Structure 1
Amino acid sequence: MAKEYDRRNLDFILKEVLDFGSLCSHPYFADYTPDMFDMVLDSADSIAEKYLRPHFVDTDRHPAELIDGTVHVHPSTEAYVKEMGESGMIGSTFSYEKGGQQLPSTVGGAHEFIRGAASNSIVMFTGLTNGAAHLIASFGSEELKAAYVPNMLNGRWTGTMCLTEPQAGSSLNDVSTQAKDLGNGTYSIKGQKIFISGGDNQFSENIIHLVLARLEGAPKGTKGISLFVVPKRRNENGQWISNEVISLGLYHKMGQKGTPALHLSFGDKGDSIGYLVGEPNKGLSYMFQMMNEARLGVGMGGAYIASAAYHFSKQYANERSQGRKLSNKDPETPPTLIKNHPDVQRMLYFQKAIVEGAMGLLFQCFMWEDYSKCLTGEEAENYHTLLNLMTPVAKTYPAEMGLQAVNQGVQVLGGYGYTEDFPLEQMARDVRIMSIYEGTTGIHGLTLLGREIPANQGKALKLLLNLIQKDIEEAKKQTNIQRYAEELEQEVAKLGQVTMHKLKIAAEGKPELFLADSTLYMELFGLIVVAWQWIKQGTVASKSLENSTSAKEKEFYQDKLHTMKFFYHYEVPKALGLNKRLMDTENLTVFES
């Protein structure tokens, strides 16, 4: 099987486009050097090679099972989690004060990209544990931090997030799990949660659930939700006993079968104890930290599964002979490789353009997160604002377009792509969940247009447009890509017009009409910001091509420019139809009651 990602491309984005090594010049990351970042990424390759890649198919063929009340996952999972814990990588991006290595999020994200491309399902165990531990470390009491975070970071315990309930789905307003104050610093938890990824396994000494629940008398809606640590086992007088967290059943999923999704019951018999995180009724605000971290992780999932599919279908196209070039009418000549057919080239470049554009967007977000940590004052706040704006986009674009990219990979293989003999069919099943995880595409469209765009008088969008314009001006200096910079400038202006049109509808007091096409607005927004990422990559490639003396490097930069052009000629024109619909005043989906 082909390697699932291109290290040269990853280095290009991290080093040449984003200059992530410059983070070392800031006091917060001063303990690191760029060479040390390379060593960290080399370790990801080693973990992928030893613990993940060999088991990718087997974890799908032998999914988790619920046996006598305990979920049994693929045996390779235990070794992987143990290695991640012992190497310090589960909490590597945490600050020193929180028990981590204070590694940049950009480096941690790249480490995850490499691992996830090798086996997208198993990496969820450490990703969820990271997020749960970070939440406790950020908002928990000193007692909670000491009791839970160390064993989660060393891999002995795993973690989950428990939000969704059978009757509520994605509507957290309707969370009904109950929490009763027992008067001794503990709470009795009662309720059910569904779709809990990694909700149980046979190897962890304990599983730490972060549960949203309502205290007695709490306000209705999201303002009355509190957050609790609810372990699978609790310590009473030095003895570890069951905390009445019961696995009611496993969901039999379409893909990502290496990670179980559970229906959990808490305290059906009144013996599930929880521990309050932070203050009462502020649970959802705390949980947003983990949710937003997970959203970037889901976007990564769409990108790294698409990356694996691209590299496999590219290898296949370079090995499979079928048919002859359209210009060859001689049936006596041998078949040509399918990579020589124009439509196969189109599908391969589509995959490459989506994967590498999405990677640019994701790692841009991680850099903003790092800047918000190592800078101070208004600068730090501006990067935090940009990150909030872009998180729903960085989740949605790679998830939705990653699905399309993987499907094109299946198409490259033709009938073979639909069989279990090749990994594309598994990747197609695995990637499908990414547009549903951590909020569906529709929810994130509402978030982008309904909340992030209007917030603070549009401050985030203004900051973003200033950054884009600076990169457009830089790209205009390169004569071979000047026309694409000018095209992006025009599309950004049209996005501004669409945004003002939508905000005018909101100002008229028509919220349903304002948000009716928010998913299409998200599609347009994602297309434009990825076009921005491609103009950034194209600018660097153009400059580097002028100075490169290596034939191999010249080929790399030329291919970068070719892919950028492909994105502008094949993807950017889709903005025309989106702009037309979003400016259309004909209402076809909102009906008067």
Structure 2
Amino acid sequence: MSRFYSKKDLIFQLFENQNVLNLTALPNFSDHSEDTFKLILDAAEQIATNSLYPIFREMDRQEPQLIDGLIRIHPGMKSIIQKFGQDGWVNAIFPYDEGGQQLPWTIHMAAGFIFQAANYSASVFPFLTTGAANLIRTFGSEQLKENYLPKMYSGNWQGTMALTEPDAGSSLSDLSTTAFPTDQPGVFKIRGQKIYISAGDHDACENIIHLMLARISGAPSGTKGISLFVVPKIRLDGKPNDVLTQGIYHKMGYKGAPIAHLMMGSQDDCEGYLVGEENLGLKYMFQMMNEARLGVGMNAVAIATAAFHASLTYAKERPQGRKANEKDLQKPQIPIIEHADVKRMLLVQKCITEGSLALLIYCGILSDKIAQESDKELKLKQETLLDFLTPIAKSYPSEMGVISTSHAVQVLGGAGYTTDFPVEQYFRESRIHPIHEGTTGIHGLDLLGRKVWMEDGLGWKLWLNEIQEGIGEAKRWSELIDLSTSFEKQLTTFIEASGQMFEKRKLGAEILLADASLFLEACGIVSIAWMWVKQAITAQEKLQNGTQETHFYLGKIEAFRYFISYELPKLTGIIQRFYASDFPTLTMEKEWF
């Protein structure tokens, strides 16, 4: 049994609750089967257990250092990155004719979940390269593909995504890195700087390949004038490309992966190679960003899952106190897991992690279907639903992952606050995810300002229809009818309140979006309740048909009960704001603080 995740739950989520095997009916995945999927997950667990987890704490204690212009990382990472390349993880989701395995993204993401739970810092290197390589293979010229993809796939070269600048964080419209045309077609001189670049420099690969946003000199202002470039640290002829590592950020967690500050063109000799067409860079980059947002949600779930299992193990082993009604002090102390409040903290973690994992697998399967859907109308529905779900699937696990890992620390009490146990590290590492790939506030604006209204509200309607269908199915089971009816009532109240929120659109964008983060939070709670409905139905079917795993499935139903009884009622306080006509976040003056 793994110390950092539940294989039983992952198999349940993939093969029982959502039946990932349906994907094998699609042409691209027809060569795969349950056996191949499980072999891949087993291979991921072997790497995670034998290579990643053993250096999990070392990478935190021995964080990267910038020495003589080069970032030095944990020495164990070189062989790990090479193994990811040699075993085909970097390009596993790509077609056979490109050397890939045509693996569904859902399975690749599930394998990533195992790696991330074992050692988040170590897991990011290959998947950053996958994202960067995917941009080149999708939008780049044949020459760029030939020059860069083989060594990225092999793990010899690292890929990155270079967006953020000191004066243009989430506001990419204000991006100032500039590309100047040369007399060579597609070749530009790059000048500027980028900050917070994950794996932006390190000594475990021979070269770093940046997929970088820049504005071509004279291009339109705003996002319409942004282009995408391949900017290597070292050129193909072996010469340095005037990309300097100006600094390294020392973080509260996620310390094993370096985050670099880069300077390009300080000697006016940094070459960038245009990817696709001019001024379409942000459109191209959003392919990687949207995948990355779901990836960040999965990262958050993985870390919170590892913390949950660490605290669960501790709670089963740590004796302390007696039952509240036990007065005989001669009786032995009981494991703390027998105390109601400890169960509450473990149930919070179980509900957050397993509910979020279910949502992300749902999104993964949807994404895999979209990639091969030929029916235009059905594809539009699938794309619109996934667009609607993406900010929720990124933000709920990220925000609630912090809460979940905090509960893991609390289960251990004073021990949890020490470095003798791993939960303090999980807590620190979890905090990056509400920031990564767009802050929670940005995703709130995206959901309420854009996604709700796309295609005349199609995503919103489809989401509600899916939830209502799930509730209807649950109500057919006598064991689930009370809980599903309770959810149905809360959902009706939420829909009515959301209608009031939507009316504020008539008052202008600023008023509508003042509480966008609260709307996002409410949608997250509803979405996870929906995922628990689905899990409870599957568990009830298994119990009805007979199973030797009764404890596992009864645990699912009891977690569903906990979520409906404890977490779902939190909607009530949130949606009161939907009716409000006062806006202190708008009327508060900066001087009053």
TM-score of the superposed pair, with normalisation by structure 2:
0.97
Alignment of 1:117-156 (within 5 A): 117-156=117-156
Query: SS at 1:196's partner residue?
Result: strand
State how far apart, in whole Å, the 2-side matches of 1:16 and 1:405 are: 25
Instruction: Give 1:248-267 correspondences, 5 Å limit.
Output: 248-267=246-265
Matches for 1:89-488 after TM superposition, within 5 Å: 89-185=89-185, 186-235=187-236, 239-377=237-375, 378-488=377-487
The offset of 1:531, in angstroms, is 0.3
Secondary structure at 2:406 match in 1: helix
CA–CA distance in 1 between the matches of 2:489 and 2:98?
A: 46
Q: 2:498·2:578 contact (CA, 8 Å) conserved in 1?
A: no
SS at match of 2:150: helix
How far 1:112 sits from its partner (Å)? 0.4
Which position in structure 2 is the counterpart of 1:565?
561
RMSD: 1.3
Work out the CA distance in 1 between the residues paired with 2:571 and 2:97: 46
The CA distance in 2 between the partners of 1:246 and 1:187, in whole Å, is 17
- Whole-Å separation in 1 of the counterparts to 2:154 and 2:49: 21
CA distance in 1, matches of 2:544, 2:290: 40
Give the aligned residue type for 1:233.
I
Q: Is the 8 A contact 1:99 1:150 kept in 2?
A: no
Take 1:496 and 1:221, find their aligned partners in 2: how far apart are those partners? 36
* Secondary structure, aligned partner of 1:434: coil
In 2, the alpha carbon distance for the partners of 1:80 and 1:522 equals: 38
Task: Sort the Cα spacing of 1:148 and 1:545 in 2 relative to 1 into closer, same or farther, 3 A.
Answer: same
Change (3 A) 1:549 1:363: closer
* Displacement of 1:383: 1.6
CA–CA distance in structure 1, aligned partners of residues 383 and 100 of structure 2: 21
Partner of 2:431, secondary structure, is helix
Q: In 2 relative to 1, CA 107–183 (structure 1 residues): closer, same or farther, beyond 3 Å?
A: same
Instruction: Tell me how far 1:339 sits from its aligned partner.
Output: 0.8
Q: Do residues 57 (structure 1) and 53 (structure 2) align? A: no
Structure 2: gaps (5+ residues)? none
Q: 1:545, CA displacement in angstroms?
A: 0.5
What does residue 511 of structure 1 align with?
Answer: 509
Provide the rounded CA distance (Å) in 2 between the counterparts of 1:170 and 1:262: 17
Deviation of 1:459 (Å): 0.9
Once structures 1 and 2 are overlaid, which stretch shifts more, 522-531 or 134-143? Answer: 134-143
State how many pairs are aligned: 587
Contact 1:181 1:215 (C-alpha < 8 Å) held by counterparts: yes
What residue identity is the alignment partner of 1:506?
R
Deviations along 1:523-574, one digit per CA (max 9) or x if unpaired, are 0000001100000000111111111142xx1111111101111111110000
Opposite residue 188 of structure 2, the aligned amino acid is Y
Change (3 A) 1:2 1:110: closer
Contact 1:163 1:193 in 2 (8 A): yes
| Contact 2:449/2:513 (8 A) holds in 1 | yes
Equivalent-residue separation in structure 2 for 1:589 and 1:405 (angstroms): 28
Contact kept in structure 2, 1:495 and 1:525, CA below 8 Å? no
Contact 1:98 1:137 in 2 (8 A): no
Structure 1 residue 592: Cα displacement: 9.1
Aligned residues: percent identity? 46
- Confirm or deny: 8 A CA contact 2:246 2:263 kept in the other structure: yes
Amino acid of the residue matched to residue 199 of structure 1?
G
Secondary structure at 2:419 match in 1:
coil
In 2, the alpha carbon distance for the partners of 1:198 and 1:498 equals 44
Deviation at 1:331?
2.0
- 2:23 aligned partner, one-letter code: L
**Contact residue 494 and residue 571 of structure 2 kept, 8 A:** no
Q: TM-score, normalised by structure 1?
A: 0.97
Q: Residues of 1 paired with 2:464 and 2:561: CA distance? A: 22
Q: Is the 8 A contact 1:247 1:263 kept in 2?
A: yes
Query: What CA deviation, in whole Å up to 9, does each residue of 1:313-368 have, x standing for no partner?
Result: 01001111111111111222222111111111100111111100000000000000
Q: Which residue of 1 aligns with 2:531?
A: 533
Give the conservation status (yes or no) of the 8 Å contact 1:45–1:115. Answer: yes
**Alpha-carbon deviation of 1:2?**
5.9
Alpha-carbon separation, structure 2, partners of 1:494 and 1:448: 20
